[in-house]
Amino acid sequence: MAKSVTKDMTNGSPMKLILQFGIPLFFGMLFQQFYSMMDTVIVGKFLGVNALAAVGSTGSINFMIIGFCMGVCNGFAIPVAQQFGAGDYHALRKYVANSAWLTIAFAGVMTVSVCALCRQILMWMNTPKDIMGGAYSYIFIIFLGIPVTYLYNMLSGIIRSLGDSKSPLVFLIFSSVLNIALDMVLILVFHMGVAGAAWATVISQAISGIACLIYMMKRFEILKITKEEWRLDGKYAAVLCNMGIPMGLQYSITAIGSVILQTAVNMLGSVAVASIAAASKIGLFFCCPFDAMGSTMATYAGQNVGAGKLERISMGIKSTCVLGLVYSVAAFGALTVFGTTIALLFVDASETLILQNVRWFLMINSAFFFPLALVNIVRFTIQGMGFSRFAILAGVCEMAARSIVGLGFVPVFGYIAACFASPIAWVCADLFLIPAYLYVMKKMRKMMEKEPVSLSGISEKNGTAAISQNP
């Protein structure tokens, strides 16, 4: 039999466990951003500023749709982590099976509907005419790949829920290298333009998802699903939707603000769009540790809630916040000193205005990295505890902040106002999330006092977690 590679995060030093789990996850996200950034580097260097702007102009709508897919998959993984922590492997397998059925349905509906509306969405966003063709070619292909986005994110989420964050890293490293190679071949050899960059991303993620599937089938004994467990179960599906849809909406609602902001930036012209595109790619690369901290805390909190160990969640929050603060200071220093140099990866030194714009964006955003760290740490902890609907409200805070900046300040103050949009959104989200976390912990402690058993089968009802032995 294959050896189990699961990891129990309900015992031992929280800091040690978080580092052991989070470091591979960080490198996985780093490589994911790396091959995403390489798309932009190759496009900017070999296809020019207009092509760079075309790809960049799709960033917010890309995040709104693909972010929903990722959020749903992350939500589906939470009941799996909870059942693993509770030791109920039959329920765990039922959640995995029902996740598969729901993922197929979500992927099919979204692919058809989003691809049909793709061009109209770009027109609503006031995409400049000189980059409309490239923007449509790129984002239409990315949206054709929604099924493989679901495939990879669902499977990697399940693997991480069982405590294994190293295996998805291996698959991502391979797909990252493949993506870069395909970029070069499709753009430079076959002259496919920005469409080549999009196909490279989709193909690479598909291979990564298939690798996760093969690995999971061979290595995880507790995932040997029986014919009975494969049956669609309304109760399990309801719990999964209660977890997954709010998390998906959180990403999408947050992205609505980004779409409104991008629409305002589009009206500033192609130079501003290209500047935001390059700066955002660099920023996302440096933000990978925050994403890793959030995903780590989702699994950590989910397992510990399942085991009924609430005190360990607070310990994990404190440990992760220390890591977030240290990294935030280091990242601010690095981007302040080397931000312009890094931007030369995307554009030539002659593009002085773009380089200046990128420097301002990176300095302003990195000065607020610790509030961003708190957003990820606290939000994903709350989600891992089973209160994913709070994520929607946090997303509303971010959406409102970016929308106000985009509609009210960018038309007046121009590019510099756009640089402050995300920092303001992060602070607004924190003002909601921190009190929400304190409320959730108080709620869970009261529930534990009434029912001092493992919190298996957690589901949401009217925004609160409900204990049940089996859903």
pLDDT tier at 35, thresholds 50, 70, 90: low
Round to whole Å and give the CA distance between 302 and 284. Answer: 26
pLDDT tier at 454, thresholds 50, 70, 90: very low
Round to whole Å and give the CA distance between 361 and 175. Answer: 30
In a domain, 471, yes or no: no
pLDDT of 383 over the 90 cut: no
pLDDT of 134 over the 60 cut: yes
pLDDT of amino acid 55? 86
Structure tokens, 221: 């004994």
Structure tokens, 94: 């039922």
Give me the percent of the chain exceeding a pLDDT of 90. Answer: 45
In a domain, 6, yes or no: no
pLDDT of amino acid 455? 44
Could you write out the DSSP letters of every residue in 173-213?
Answer: HHHHHHHHHHHHIIIIIS--THHHHHHHHHHHHHHHHHHHH
Structure tokens, 60: 């917010």
pLDDT of 120 over the 60 cut: yes
In a domain, 2, yes or no: no
Instruction: Tokens 């009924």: give the residue.
Output: 308
Query: Which is nearest to 53 in space by CA: 131, 124, 136?
Result: 131
In a domain, 1, yes or no: no
pLDDT of 368 over the 90 cut: yes
In a domain, 4, yes or no: no
Round to whole Å and give the CA distance between 79 and 73. Answer: 11
Buried b (16+ CB within 10 A) or exposed e, 14-45: beebbebbbbbbbbbbbbbbbbbbbbbbbbbb
Query: Which is nearest to 252 in space by CA: 43, 403, 431, 62?
Result: 62
In a domain, 9, yes or no: no
Report in angstroms the alpha-carbon separations of 422 from 14, 413, 466. 30, 16, 34
| Phi and psi torsions of 233, nearest 5° | -120, 120
Mean pLDDT over 178-200 rounds to 91
Mean pLDDT over 63-92 rounds to 89
Round to whole Å and give the CA distance between 84 and 306. Answer: 7
Round to whole Å and give the CA distance between 98 and 94. Answer: 6
In a domain, 300, yes or no: yes
pLDDT of amino acid 451? 63
Mean pLDDT over 282-295 rounds to 89
Range of the domain at 441: 14-466
Taking each helix axis as running N to C, give the angle between helix 146-161 and helix 194-219, from 0 to 180 degrees, rounded to the nearest 10.
40
pLDDT of amino acid 166? 82
Mean pLDDT over 332-336 rounds to 94
Q: What is the pLDDT of residues 387-437, one digit of tens each?
A: 877 877 888 898 899 999 999 999 999 999 999 999 999 999 999 999 999
| 11: DSSP letter | S
- Reduce the DSSP state of residue 4 to 3 states and report it: coil
Give me the percent of the chain exceeding a pLDDT of 70. Answer: 93
Round to whole Å and give the CA distance between 146 and 164. Answer: 25
What's the domain count of the chain? 1
Provide the 10 A C-beta neighbour count for residue 401. Answer: 23
Report in angstroms the alpha-carbon separations of 130 from 110, 124, 162, 347. 28, 15, 48, 18
For the chain, the C-alpha Rg in angstroms (whole number) is 21
Give yes or no for a contact between 270 and 50, defined as CB atoms under 8 angstroms apart.
yes
In a domain, 296, yes or no: yes
Query: Which is nearest to 163 in space by CA: 248, 208, 220?
Result: 220
